[in-house]
Amino acid sequence: MNAAPIYLDNNATTRVADEVLTAMLPYFTEQYGNPSSIHAFGNKVARALKEARVQVQQLLGAAHDSEIIFTSGGTESNNTAIRSALQAYPQRKRIITTVVEHPAVLNLCKALQQQGYRVDYLPVDRYGRIDLDLYRALLAPDVAIVSVMWANNETGTLFPVEEMAEMARAAGVLFHTDAVQAAGKIPIDLKHTAIDMLSLSGHKFHAPKGIGVLYVRRGVRFHPLLLGGHQERGRRAGTENSAAIVGLGVAAVLAREALPYEMTAVKNLRDRLEQGILAQVPNVLVMGDPVNRLPNTTNIAFEYIEGEAILLLLNQHGIAASSGSACTSGTLEPSHVMRAMGIPHTAAHGTIRFSLSRFNTEAEIDRVLEVVPEIVRKLRALSPFWPKHQEAA
Amino acid sequence: MWDYSEKVKDHFFNPRNAGVLDDANAIGEVGSLACGDALKLMLKIDPISERILDARFQTYGCGSAIASSSALTEMIKGKTIQEALAITNQDIADYLGGLPPEKMHCSVMGREALHAAIANYRGESWHDDHDEGTLICKCFGVSSRLIEETIRANGLTTVEEVTHYTKAGGGCTSCRTAIEEILARIASSREPQPAGKESAPAAPVLATRPLIEKIRRIEQELAAIRPLLARDHGDVELVDLQGQTIYLRLTGACSGCQLESITLSSIQARLQKALGERVRVVPVREISPAAAHCTP
Ligand SMILES: Cc1ncc(COP(=O)(O)O)c(C=O)c1O
């Protein structure tokens, strides 16, 4: 109880890295100039923003730093990308996306449907995978944009967005990906892909909240969402959040350096956690695609018990995770991602997402492994369904 | 995370009277795995004094569901059946120092289980929530009886409140109109009646509403079709009804495969026959984005 808290909810948000905070602080104090100003105050800041732009460009493997537009985060980037495409191709009235997107895409699409756009939501199978043949069949010249997330926030499942972008390009359709969960966790090299637009969000990789990026490939028709000043070359009006942009740049450098570690050490910790739970706890299922998956995420369904109750007990041990169960979200049904995968109702309410970062340690994982079996046992002892299941088995 | 009272936390972390009561002579079971919570309440009632000598529970559900069950057993132990039946869901919530509004359905579930257990003790049949004639919310199996009782007992006035207290309307949302009708009817029966006119109990809503009657027929027919689909691990659910168009969601093995169109046309034929009118069946594929969760 008194031990240091263990944070395994990094897909929700991350702690700001020390280097990031240190780099940001001067931009609140001495370097408070407006980068648009002519004087020295502004100039220095403008140069810092330019540097951050290059740092993000390098994280994404983009061909040009001018392809990077700073925004307020993933939600704004997604909204901008999709609305831009609709404005750029007014004759095209269709959008293709998936059933498991983040609400920042889904709720926008829902609103666009009200306005008369047709939205095709690609279904997923039990492992959260898309049927590429169905996708191919939907691609047509009247589609304004395809928007498909690179990595799913709940399960970590990776979609083959590079392949899907090639297919879209062959069909003459713009391709956007919500890479909010992918950026900084898997290698991205945009100049060698057909991806036209990409969203990322700083707070998912140790930059602060409220800063993000929309990548727009050079040559892609673009219409800004926010109109006003000429910032970001007229593509995103509003005085730049300079401190956060500087922080995002540093976070991008750190993420790029840490990528090999993320793909090995963090992945090993994730696997240690997952294997440990599978070995010790009966009736658990791993959600999503077990192969094509973010290195930091595991989503585990504990049958016959409910997610919020698990989280409360984890929290009592100082462990932070999250759940796709109904009770944790204020709605009454399991998350749309779990429902889309059609997982059995014995498991749908008992899913727990553990999402790691490079700040987690083996000792922390081992402590979680000590606690989880005990928690599951306690809740199953309370559940009327567990004894019934035991009898049947 | 929810802002639970200390009492809720205490009853969740240290549940009282959890487990099986071997010599129970009254058992009430409500809820289900699919609904996300369920409570099995076991009582030992003294047949002479009709006093509840012991009470135990098993609960599947969130923190407040477990806490409400624990609180309920503490509240009813030592009470007579009559005294126990007077306990309202609000009493359970009060005992716990209050519940978040969205969690009031946990207290309602407790009261339901208590009534089911006492009915079981008395050898009466408990109004089954899945009694087709009165089922309003199919997603969570909520009957018009429970909705009406809960509205009256708690003075509810909005659909949102009804959803918080009973879960009805919290799934596909297609029953919201029906809930509004019940609310309107109860509201009008609350208004002072003109002198001389006794406030007659309102006519049962279902018998007089053609739309609801139609939905009920569709549900009945779907209930008959379901076992056929279940052979292929499939299921069908009514999502919406607009005029002659019936929106259905097919799930499981029958959704998405080539057989879907065959399945749909035969369902359409059966529904036409059951309703005695031309209808069009439209499959609903997308998960409603309105219901998309904000798990960040
Ligand atoms: C996949 C995905 N897209 C978009 C967002 C929204 O990003 P932001 O919080 O920066 O608006 C999130 C996280 O919240 C996410 O996980």
* CATH number for the domain harbouring residue B246: 3.30.300.130
- Tell me: do A84 and A221 sit in the same domain: yes
CA atoms within 13 A on the CB side of B107: 25
Whether residue B233 lies inside any domain: the answer is: yes
* CATH number for the domain harbouring residue A183: 3.40.640.10
Is residue B219's pLDDT more than 80? yes
Helix then strand then coil, in percent of chain B rounded to 5, is: 45, 20, 35
Q: What percent of chain B has pLDDT over 70?
A: 81
- Tell me: do A151 and A271 sit in the same domain: no
- Tell me: do A92 and A192 sit in the same domain: yes
Please state the separation of Cα B82 from the chain's center in Å: 24
Atom of ligand 1 nearest to the CA of A101: 1
Is residue B288's pLDDT more than 60? no
Q: Quick check: B289 and A109 CB within 8 A? A: yes
Distance from the B167 Cα atom to the nearest Cα atom in chain A, whole angstroms:
7
- Pick A237 or A393 by higher pLDDT: A237
* CATH number for the domain harbouring residue B74: 3.90.1010.10
Distance CA B193, CA B46 (A): 44
Mutate to test the pocket of ligand 1, among A75, A225, A294 (most ligand atoms within 8 A of CB): A75
Distance CA B265, CA B271 (A): 10
Whether residue B266 lies inside any domain: the answer is: yes
Distance CA A39, CA B262 (A): 73
Residue type, A329: S
Range of the domain at B267: 206-283
Nearest CA to ligand 1 atom 12: B296
Contact indicator for B24, B44 with CB cutoff of 8 Å = yes
- Tell me: do B232 and B276 sit in the same domain: yes
Q: What is the pLDDT of residues B152-172, one digit of tens each?
A: 999 999 999 999 999 999 888
Residue A251 Cα to ligand 1 midpoint, Å, equals: 17
What tokens were used for A250?
């540093």
Q: How many domains does chain A have?
A: 2
Whether residue B197 lies inside any domain: the answer is: no
- Tell me: do A211 and A290 sit in the same domain: no
- Pick A230 or B261 by higher pLDDT: A230
Is residue B261's pLDDT more than 80? no
Atom of ligand 1 nearest to the CA of B294: 14
Contact indicator for A296, A272 with CB cutoff of 8 Å = no
Choose the closest CB to A99 out of B60, B287, B293: B287
- Tell me: do A219 and A73 sit in the same domain: yes
Choose the closest CB to B62 out of A123, A308, A331: A308
- Tell me: do A344 and A361 sit in the same domain: yes
Contact indicator for B127, B141 with CB cutoff of 8 Å = no
Choose the closest CB to B289 out of A12, A107, A349: A107
Q: Quick one: pLDDT band at residue B35, thresholds 50, 70, 90?
A: confident
Whether residue B296 lies inside any domain: the answer is: no
Whether residue A1 lies inside any domain: the answer is: no
Beta strands in B100-147 (DSSP E): 135-137, 142-143
The whole-number average pLDDT for the span B255-267 is 61
Q: What is the pLDDT of residue B201?
A: 47
Whole-complex ipTM: 0.90
Q: What is the pLDDT of residues A298-318, one digit of tens each?
A: 999 999 999 999 999 999 999
Is residue B289's pLDDT more than 50? no
The whole-number average pLDDT for the span B264-281 is 80
- Tell me: do A60 and A196 sit in the same domain: yes
Q: What is the pLDDT of residue A332?
A: 78
Range of the domain at A308: 6-13+259-392
Q: State which H helix or E strand residue A106 sits in.
A: helix A103-114
Q: How far is CA B127 from CA A128, B1, B116, B142, B143, in A?
A: 40, 35, 8, 11, 9
- Tell me: do B180 and B246 sit in the same domain: no
Residue A149 Cα to ligand 1 midpoint, Å, equals: 10
In B31-50, the residues whose Cβ lies within 8 Å of chain A are 33-34, 36-40
Domain stop point among A236, A255, A274: A255
* CATH number for the domain harbouring residue B163: 1.10.10.1100
Q: Would an 8 Å CB–CB cutoff place B102 in contact with chain A?
A: yes
Q: What is the pLDDT of residues A173-196, one digit of tens each?
A: 999 999 999 999 999 999 999 999
The whole-number average pLDDT for the span B12-18 is 97
- Tell me: do B115 and B145 sit in the same domain: no
The whole-number average pLDDT for the span A80-86 is 98
- Tell me: do A170 and A265 sit in the same domain: no
Q: What is the pLDDT of residue B202?
A: 46
Q: Quick one: pLDDT band at residue B203, thresholds 50, 70, 90?
A: very low
**Residues in CB range of A133: below 8 A, 6 or more apart:** none
Catalytic residue status for B106: yes
Q: Please name which of A30, A46, A49, A48 lies closest in space to residue A38, comparing C-alpha atoms.
A: A46
Q: Quick one: pLDDT band at residue B293, thresholds 50, 70, 90?
A: very low
- Tell me: do B84 and B52 sit in the same domain: yes
DSSP B125: P
Distance CA B264, CA B225 (A): 11
Q: What is the pLDDT of residues A136-168, one digit of tens each?
A: 999 999 999 999 999 999 999 999 999 999 999
Q: How many domains does chain B have?
A: 3
